[in-house]
Chains A and B, each alone.
Chain A
Amino acid sequence: MDTSRSYLEPSSFSKKLAATIIIVYTVITLIPISWMVMTSFKNVNSAISYPPEVFFEPSLEGYVNLFTNRSRQSQEYLDSLPPPENWYEELVRSREMVITGPSKFLGRYSNSMIIGFGSTFASVFLGALAAYAFSRFRVPLKDDLLFFILSTRMFPPIAVAVPIFIMYRKLGLGDTHLGMIILYTVVNLSLAVWLLKGFMDEIPKEYEEAAMIDGYSRLQAFFKVVLPQAMTGIAATAIFCMIFSWNEYAFAVLLTQFNAQTAPPFIPTIIGEGGLDWPAIGAGTTLFLLPVMIFTIILRKHLLRGITFGAVRK
């Protein structure tokens, strides 16, 4: 008889049942995302066929449309042009259009990158400092201050958008990368402080006290002992902050226009003739989702361990 198995371990039947339900859920929940990726490789006609096509001839039309601006031309004009120089020009001409130039997508995308990484770094760094202080020191009005920090998340972005708009115009921060980085940092700070405080609370005080007895100052102990210990928590927090900045829409649509506009307000404006150009929107969405997916999968261990931090150490 197998006595080595702890009686706390779920039976193998209940494990299999749980796994089956979870797999079914995973498949269902991934259908919209897969559909979006598939649509990005369809051509415009196959994207609007009914019943929806699961098997289709892959096409890069969506990606070409995403990266270019095009205009419709008459057949006579197209005939008068020299033969297309490359495959994407040929593709566009077959739709009776010519490429008039690159679209704004690449610029919007790099804006998202700059603002996303900049604000994530800043909010995690500042959040870790504040969280440590809240976790370790007697801060006057600690609970009130913590609730104040949380409550800053409660104000609808639209409501503060007008004052921020006016304030940023005065400071010259309107429609700039720096302005958006500062704004997103602040919005993320509350979540960062709350999450990181939980992780900091889990790290035994004795660690840094031992380091301080060995001659470290409080600051050194924080950077050399506490921060490495909190790495899982920091990674998990960074993922949440990055997701927010990368995906934020309300402030971006209201406060940025030309210079610092990010991808989320831009993607819905990719409109083709006679309605929305679904493959192009699928392509934009796919490319936009890709970094976050890679980021999440690379940091998967940190994310999951970070979230289950309390259990790992027991």
Chain B
Amino acid sequence: MSVKKKFKGLSDKAVAWLFIGPSVFLLLAINIYPLIYAIRMSFTNFYANKIGREPQFVGLKNYIKVLNKEAIWEKMQVTANFMFWTLLLQAVIGLGLALLLNRKFKGNELLTTLIVLPMMLSPAVVGVFWTYLYNPQVGLFNYVINFFHDFGSFDMIGSSVLAPWSIVIVDTWMWTPFTMLICLAGLRSVPNYLYEAAEVDRASKWQQFIYITLPSVLPFLLLALLFRGIENFKMFDMVVELTSGGPGSATELASINLKREAFEKWKTGYSSAFAVILFVTIFGFGNVYVKVMNKIKER
């Protein structure tokens, strides 16, 4: 191993720290410090709009308040419902599209680029624009739906039954390409010799799909869903501009409620406690998920 020492320049250890250092420093300063600050505030009755008043330590009061509030559980349910449907639809459609694109027909590169376009858009701007498409009087969406079957006038955003679906549709439209791209990468990473060997062994196409394709693409799909899951748990921008949580609180996701508490009611202490609870939830789920994902990958 002494060979390594003969290379000139910095030692590997120094290079490692030089390379990781700046990133870790920035993450600590801009991510972890505010996080600790928020955790500290969550134990106080701090109101960010009342600058003169010295915040007082209130212990776990904010946490108890959050967890005992029925409305919070409603928001969590709205969030869970949103996540379930968007992730399910994006996994199924994304994987399906990836399998089709993997047939390497002519022009599939151009089509892939075009399919990817919706995820390039700003979610907030998309939200604004879809209020136009969903408009019950002049919207294109309503027109197209009524063209196939006349439901009469309906309001995707204004009805508390339809509003949760309005955000699921927009999110699926935007982000299915993400799962598709990652799955496509997975499909293309499967070495051809596996299929060749399977052909020699006279495995049917279906068997090849179940025993070769699916297991190879699964870790990629799971990774894509992890990223989408984290994003949709924090979903804010698109929904704020589309439904702003309404009607009533039919689409009031946890993040939107958090914004109302923190920036409209200025209950900084209370909202920090809520934020910490949200973070612990997603962090816990994320941790378990990554562990499971790694197990699947090892197999």
Contacts and interface: CB of A to CB of B under 8 A. Distances in A.
Contact of B286 (A29, A139, A151): A151
A119 to B, nearest CB: 11
Given A30-B117, A159-B275, A249 B191 contact: no
Nearest to B268: A162
Contacts of B131: 276
A47 B140 CA distance: 11
Given A8-B199, A35-B140, A268 B27 contact: no
Interface residues of B, number: 104
A267 B286 CA distance: 34
Nearest to A185: B26
Interface residues of A, number: 109
Given A10-B103, A161-B262, A133 B19 contact: yes
Interface string A144-162: 0101111111111111111
A32 B35 contact: no
B31 A36 contact: no
A309 B23 CA distance: 25
Interface in B35-52: 35, 37-38, 41, 48
B108 A22 contact: yes
Interface string A172-191: 00000000001101100111
B279 A133 contact: no
B122 interface: yes
A154 B100 contact: no
Nearest to B276: A159
B9 A220 contact: yes
Given A246-B122, A264-B124, A268-B128, A164 B234 contact: no
Interface stretch (B56-64, B81-89, B181-189): B181-189
A163 interface: yes
Contacts of B127: 268
A59 B61 CA distance: 59
Given A10-B103, A163-B37, A130 B199 contact: no
A34 to B, nearest CB: 10
A84 to B, nearest CB: 30
A52 B138 CA distance: 6
B22 interface: yes
Given A130-B20, A162-B262, A308-B185, A265 B124 contact: yes
A47 B286 CA distance: 44
Contact of A32 (B30, B118, B119, B272): B118
Contacts of B31: 152, 155, 160, 186
Contacts of B133: 32, 35
A154 B27 CA distance: 13
A293 B116 CA distance: 10
A29 B263 contact: no
8 contacts: A50-B137, A159-B38, A161-B262, A186-B26, A276-B131, A278-B132, A281-B132, A292-B121
Given A30-B117, A139-B20, A158-B275, 10 more contacts: A10-B103, A22-B105, A30-B114, A32-B173, A158-B259, A217-B9, A218-B7, A303-B116, A304-B112, A307-B181
